[in-house]
Amino acid sequence: MTIARILIIEDNQFNHELIEYLLTEAGYLTLSAWDGLEGLNTARASPPDLILCDLQMPVMNGYEVVQKIKAEAPIDRIPIVAVTASSMTGDSDKAISAGFDGYIAKPIEPRTFIQLIEAFLPPSLRLEANPD
Ligand code: MN
Protein backbone atom coordinates (compact mmCIF):
# COMPACT_ATOMS: atom_id res chain seq x y z
CA MET A 1 0.00 0.00 0.00
CA THR A 2 0.98 3.64 -0.37
CA ILE A 3 2.50 5.18 2.73
CA ALA A 4 1.36 8.75 3.34
CA ARG A 5 4.04 11.46 3.23
CA ILE A 6 3.48 14.15 5.83
CA LEU A 7 5.25 17.52 5.77
CA ILE A 8 6.14 19.00 9.17
CA ILE A 9 6.63 22.79 9.14
CA GLU A 10 7.74 23.74 12.66
CA ASP A 11 10.61 25.88 13.91
CA ASN A 12 10.60 24.62 17.50
CA GLN A 13 13.07 21.76 17.76
CA PHE A 14 11.30 19.91 20.56
CA ASN A 15 7.90 19.97 18.87
CA HIS A 16 9.35 19.22 15.46
CA GLU A 17 11.25 16.18 16.68
CA LEU A 18 8.32 14.92 18.75
CA ILE A 19 5.93 15.14 15.78
CA GLU A 20 8.51 13.49 13.53
CA TYR A 21 9.01 10.70 16.04
CA LEU A 22 5.30 10.01 16.52
CA LEU A 23 4.62 9.96 12.76
CA THR A 24 7.63 7.77 11.98
CA GLU A 25 6.79 5.40 14.81
CA ALA A 26 3.26 5.04 13.40
CA GLY A 27 4.76 4.14 10.01
CA TYR A 28 4.35 7.41 8.11
CA LEU A 29 6.99 9.04 5.93
CA THR A 30 7.94 12.58 6.92
CA LEU A 31 9.33 15.66 5.22
CA SER A 32 10.81 18.43 7.37
CA ALA A 33 10.87 22.19 7.07
CA TRP A 34 12.01 24.56 9.80
CA ASP A 35 10.37 27.79 8.63
CA GLY A 36 7.38 28.73 6.50
CA LEU A 37 9.24 29.50 3.30
CA GLU A 38 11.15 26.23 3.41
CA GLY A 39 7.81 24.50 4.01
CA LEU A 40 6.16 26.18 1.04
CA ASN A 41 9.07 25.29 -1.22
CA THR A 42 9.08 21.69 0.00
CA ALA A 43 5.33 21.40 -0.65
CA ARG A 44 5.85 22.72 -4.18
CA ALA A 45 8.85 20.50 -4.94
CA SER A 46 7.45 17.31 -3.49
CA PRO A 47 3.72 17.60 -2.68
CA PRO A 48 2.88 15.63 0.48
CA ASP A 49 -0.43 13.99 1.46
CA LEU A 50 -0.80 16.17 4.54
CA ILE A 51 0.86 19.28 5.96
CA LEU A 52 1.20 20.02 9.68
CA CYS A 53 2.11 23.68 10.13
CA ASP A 54 3.15 25.76 13.12
CA LEU A 55 1.85 29.36 13.19
CA GLN A 56 4.65 31.43 14.71
CA MET A 57 7.77 30.91 12.63
CA PRO A 58 10.67 32.97 11.27
CA VAL A 59 10.92 34.03 7.59
CA MET A 60 7.26 33.18 6.81
CA ASN A 61 4.60 32.44 9.42
CA GLY A 62 1.90 29.80 9.20
CA TYR A 63 -0.82 32.24 8.12
CA GLU A 64 1.24 33.26 5.09
CA VAL A 65 2.01 29.64 4.31
CA VAL A 66 -1.66 28.58 4.23
CA GLN A 67 -2.61 31.65 2.21
CA LYS A 68 -0.03 30.81 -0.44
CA ILE A 69 -0.74 27.08 -0.51
CA LYS A 70 -4.51 27.55 -0.81
CA ALA A 71 -3.98 29.96 -3.73
CA GLU A 72 -1.76 27.67 -5.77
CA ALA A 73 -2.76 24.55 -7.72
CA PRO A 74 -2.11 21.69 -7.37
CA ILE A 75 -0.93 22.10 -3.76
CA ASP A 76 -4.18 23.87 -2.82
CA ARG A 77 -5.77 20.43 -2.48
CA ILE A 78 -3.38 19.21 0.22
CA PRO A 79 -4.98 19.25 3.69
CA ILE A 80 -3.09 21.66 5.93
CA VAL A 81 -3.50 21.51 9.69
CA ALA A 82 -2.32 24.23 12.06
CA VAL A 83 -0.42 23.18 15.14
CA THR A 84 -1.46 25.93 17.53
CA ALA A 85 0.03 27.05 20.83
CA SER A 86 -3.20 27.14 22.80
CA SER A 87 -6.95 27.54 22.45
CA MET A 88 -6.58 30.38 24.98
CA THR A 89 -4.74 32.62 22.51
CA GLY A 90 -7.52 32.56 19.91
CA ASP A 91 -5.07 31.07 17.43
CA SER A 92 -7.35 28.12 16.70
CA ASP A 93 -10.23 30.27 15.45
CA LYS A 94 -7.80 32.49 13.58
CA ALA A 95 -6.29 29.41 11.93
CA ILE A 96 -9.64 28.22 10.58
CA SER A 97 -10.48 31.72 9.33
CA ALA A 98 -7.10 31.88 7.61
CA GLY A 99 -7.84 28.78 5.54
CA PHE A 100 -6.43 25.87 7.54
CA ASP A 101 -8.42 22.65 7.26
CA GLY A 102 -8.19 22.16 11.01
CA TYR A 103 -5.93 22.54 14.00
CA ILE A 104 -4.22 20.50 16.66
CA ALA A 105 -3.52 22.16 19.99
CA LYS A 106 -0.14 22.14 21.68
CA PRO A 107 1.16 20.65 23.84
CA ILE A 108 1.24 17.59 21.59
CA GLU A 109 -0.45 14.66 23.33
CA PRO A 110 1.42 11.53 22.13
CA ARG A 111 -1.43 9.10 22.89
CA THR A 112 -3.98 10.87 20.71
CA PHE A 113 -1.81 12.61 18.12
CA ILE A 114 -1.98 9.97 15.38
CA GLN A 115 -5.74 9.63 15.69
CA LEU A 116 -6.08 13.42 15.40
CA ILE A 117 -3.95 13.74 12.28
CA GLU A 118 -5.56 10.70 10.61
CA ALA A 119 -8.87 12.55 10.55
CA PHE A 120 -7.28 14.70 7.84
CA LEU A 121 -6.04 11.77 5.71
CA PRO A 122 -8.18 9.83 3.27
CA PRO A 123 -9.22 6.51 4.87
CA SER A 124 -7.01 4.48 2.52
CA LEU A 125 -3.92 6.23 3.91
CA ARG A 126 -4.72 5.80 7.62
CA LEU A 127 -2.27 3.32 9.10
CA GLU A 128 -3.99 2.84 12.45
CA ALA A 129 -7.29 2.23 10.72
CA ASN A 130 -5.58 -0.11 8.23
CA PRO A 131 -2.94 -2.01 10.25
CA ASP A 132 -2.13 -4.36 7.35
MN1 MN B 1 7.00 28.42 16.21
Q: How far is the CA of 128 from the centre of ligand 1 (A)?
A: 28
- What would the pLDDT profile of 9-29 be if each residue is shown by its tens digit? 999 999 999 999 999 999 999
Task: Give the distance (Å) from ligand 1 centre to CA of residue 79.
Answer: 20
Would you say 50 and 121 are in contact if contact means Cβ atoms under 8 Å apart?
Answer: yes
125: closest CA among 4, 27, 30? Answer: 4
Which pLDDT tens digit goes with each residue over 81-102?
Answer: 999 886 667 778 888 899 999 9
